[in-house]
Amino acid sequence: MNSPLTQQELQEAYEFLSKKADFPLQAGIILGSGLGDLADLLERKISVPFHEIPHFPASGVAGHKGVFHFGFLDNVAVAVMQGRVHYYEGNHPSRVTIGVRLMALLGVRSLIVTNAAGAVNPNFKPGDLMLITDHLNLTGANALLGAHVPEWGERFVDMSEAYSLQLLSYAREVGEAGNIILQEGVYCAMSGPTYETPAEVRMIQRLGGDAVGMSTVYEVMAARQMDMRVLGVSLISNMGAGILQQPLNHEEVMETAARRKTDFINLIRGVIFLIDKE
C-alpha cells in the first residue's frame, strides 16, 4: 500500500488544478462504474487526466476513465470526476479522498457521489436506482486514518447526517417529477476487489445493509470532514452473491449501467438544477 496523503501533496495538486478552472463551482460529481457518460454533457469542458495531476493515483479499472473535468451542466458550473480512486488498488484510504479534498479546496460545497452496487435487499432488482440514506463501513479501515491534518477539519468527524437530508429531498422531488422510481437504503462498503461470498451478503442483510459496493464511503468521510453536503446514488447492477444462483461479473455491472443511464443522468441533472436554485 502507498503512504498516507499529506497536506503538502494536496496543496501541490490543488495549485496545479486551480489554474485549470477560473470559475466558481456549484457542485461536484463523482461518476462510478459505467456512469461516466454524464461527462459528455458538459459544456465549455476542461478535462485533466488523473495522471497529470500531481500525486493523484492512477485509476486502472475498466469503466473508470480517470479524468477530472470542469464544465457547465445546464449552465451550472461543476467539477466531475469520471472514475475514482479505490482502496483495493493498493491506495492508503486517505489517498482515495484526494479528488474530494481537491473539490472542497476549489470551493465545492455540495457533492454527488455515485457508484454501481450489488443488491443485498431482496426486493431490489438490477437497474434500480437507490438513494443512499446512510452507510456501513465494513472495509476495516477509515479515510481519516493517520496523522491528523488540522487544515482538513476535525479529528473526530460527526457522521450522524453523512447524507444530506436536504439533498435527499431534492432527489426525491426530481424522482417524483420525472417518474424516476427511486429505492432508498443503506450502502455497505467492503474493501473488495473480490465480490462477496453468499455468507457475507447474508451478514450484510442482517446488519441492515441494502446494497454493497467497494467505494464511496471514504469519499463521504472526507467530504464531511471538509463540511460538504453529500448526496449518494447507487445504481443496482446485480443481485448480491447467493441471492440468485449465478456468478457475478464486471460486464454485468457495465451492461446494467448502460441500460439505466438516461434516468441516472436525468436524476443528477435535476438535483444540480435544484442546488443551483438555492
- Nearer to ligand HPA by Cβ, of 40 and 251: the residue is 251
Provide φ and ψ at 220, rounded to 5°. -65, -40
Q: How far is CA 223 from the centre of its chain?
A: 11
195 binds ligand HPA (CB under 6 A): yes
From candidates 168, 212, 228, 233, binder to ligand HPA by CB under 6 A = 212
195 is catalytic: no
From candidates 27, 38, 248, 268, binder to ligand HPA by CB under 6 A = 248
CB 65 within 8 A of CB 37: no
Tell me whether the omega of the peptide bond preceding residue 122 falls within 30 degrees of 0, making it cis: no
Q: How far is CA 238 from CA 1, 27, 213, 244, in A?
A: 29, 29, 11, 9
Query: Which three cell numbers mark 189?
Result: 462498503
Site string for ligand HPA, 104-123 (x = CB under 6 A): ------------xxx-----
Span interacting with ligand HPA, options 74-82, 99-107, 211-219, 222-230, rule CB under 6 A:
211-219
Span interacting with ligand HPA, options 56-64, 126-134, 156-164, 212-220, rule CB under 6 A:
212-220
CB 101 within 8 A of CB 68: no
C-alpha neighbours within 13 Å on the C-beta side of residue 98: 33
126 binds ligand HPA (CB under 6 A): no
61 binds ligand HPA (CB under 6 A): no
- Nearer to ligand HPA by Cβ, of 27 and 35: the residue is 35
Q: Where are the beta strands (DSSP E) in 155-255?
A: 182-189, 211-213, 229-239
130 binds ligand HPA (CB under 6 A): no
| Marked catalytic residue, from 14, 27, 39, 64 | 64
Binding site for ligand HPA (CB under 6 A): 116-118, 195-196, 212-214, 237-238, 240, 248, 253
